[in-house]
Amino acid sequence: MLYQAYQLQSDLMSPLRMAAQHWGTALWVKDTDRSPLRRMAAAGEVFSRMRLTHSRPPWRIHDVLVDGQSVPVTEQAGYCTPFGTLLHFRKAGVTGQPPVLLVAPLSGHFATLLRETVRTLLQDHDVYITDWHNARDVSLRHGAFGLDDYIEHMTQFIAAVHADAGQPVHVVAVCQPCVAALAATALMAEDDHPAQPRSLTLMAGPVDCRVNPTEVNRLAVQKPIEWFEQNLISHVPLPHAGFMRRVYPGFVQLTAFMSMNMERHKKSFEDLFHHLVEGDMEKADVIRTFYDEYLAVNDLPAEFYLETVEKVFQTYDLALGKLGYRGRLVNPAAIRKTWLLTVEGERDDICAVGQTVAAQDLCSGIRPYRKIHHIQTGVGHYGVFSGRKWNQQIYPRVREMIHASLG
């Protein structure tokens, strides 16, 4: 009943928010900073923006600088399944750059959360990304989607990029999918797959959650997996295409994340109101852009969510050498030809220092000179893949490792 109650509340509030949006636009008058009309218009906009959306925001990457020249960027959908699309950011007239598959998390937000990561990588690489679909839009006839299906998607996407680019692929996984990306690479190495990645970058991922556990890790082990299934899983209501599909709703995860920093989010909306009243549109746009992304939520297939909680955060299957894939045991030591870079943030309170670098020991078959670790000082979880230090200090290490692996 949780999802049905949310849907009813959303439907009832939608006309009010739409009215507030039109009201705010109608009352907006230029050159009237701090006036009563401006305050009413600002209040209307803030109220209209305090809502969740369930569709992927646009990427808004229209061009990028390559060797100092602005190059147009177009999005091209490639390999596609009911649960995800391999999206290619094609640059007109640019050839020869190493192909990178950026593996986005399937964790309540859309892949556009990595917009800045994509924009930065595009300077020197031919970029593809896993564009995961909202599970509430996937019909039941397409079956379940669990952790094994995610790993299978990884191998299929890697092979598709290899076939499209005609050269070895470099995989960059951010946060949650580090486990699946490492597993897929290990399976492809064991099979001596011709498309096995040339390099693998794992950024702030929960490879071994026993190390330096965070509040997120502690919450995951406080309850048995049955509690998560009984209390956090809902059925998709009408009128959505995925009617009756079991999901972990994105609004539940977002609510949990926001409750951890409620005062900060409250202040952000207060700041938005004051910036609008003062006419400081540049600062207002920064907050607008952030919440347009942050409040766009993506439902997870229940099977994938529950298996991830259990196998990654409760029983540590990969770290303990027990992770299975369709009857096979995943063996990271089988990886020999792939370069490995692990990246962690000093202040990461979601995936703490030590959890990602654990992959270095698991991949004992990789020669030492092909294994690199980087700890970025002064950044939290999101700072690992976005912001000034990502662009100026972390990305150069990623680029250097990729190009070193080509030698």
Query: pLDDT per position in the chain (407 positions), as tens?
Result: 677 666 666 655 566 556 555 555 555 555 555 567 767 777 766 666 667 778 889 999 999 999 999 999 999 998 999 999 999 999 988 999 999 999 999 988 899 999 999 999 999 999 999 999 999 999 999 999 999 999 999 999 999 999 999 999 999 999 999 999 999 999 999 999 999 999 999 999 999 999 999 988 998 999 999 999 999 999 999 889 999 999 999 888 777 767 767 788 788 878 877 787 777 778 878 887 787 888 888 999 999 999 999 999 999 999 999 999 999 999 999 999 999 999 999 999 999 999 999 999 999 999 999 999 999 999 999 999 999 999 999 999 999 999 999 97
> Tokens in use for 246?
């079991």
Which residues, at least 6 apart from 189, have a Cβ–Cβ distance to it below 8 Å? 196, 334, 335, 336, 337, 338, 365
- For 174, half-sphere exposure in the C-beta direction (CA atoms, 13 angstrom radius) is 30
User: In terms of CATH, what superfamily is 77-219+313-405?
Assistant: Alpha/Beta hydrolase fold, catalytic domain (3.40.50.1820)
Give the pLDDT of residue 7. Answer: 62
Closest CA to 76 of 67, 86, 66, 68: 86
Give the pLDDT of residue 265. Answer: 77
Give the pLDDT of residue 28. Answer: 58
Closest CA to 295 of 250, 260, 256, 263: 250
Concatenated DSSP letters of 87-111: EEEEETT--SPPEEEEE---SSB-G
Residue 275 phi, psi (nearest 5): -65, -40
- Dihedral angle sign, alpha carbons of residues 291, 293, 294, 300: positive
User: Which pTM value belongs to this model?
Assistant: 0.89
For CATH 3.40.50.1820, the residue range(s) in the chain are 77-219+313-405
Give the pLDDT of residue 255. Answer: 74
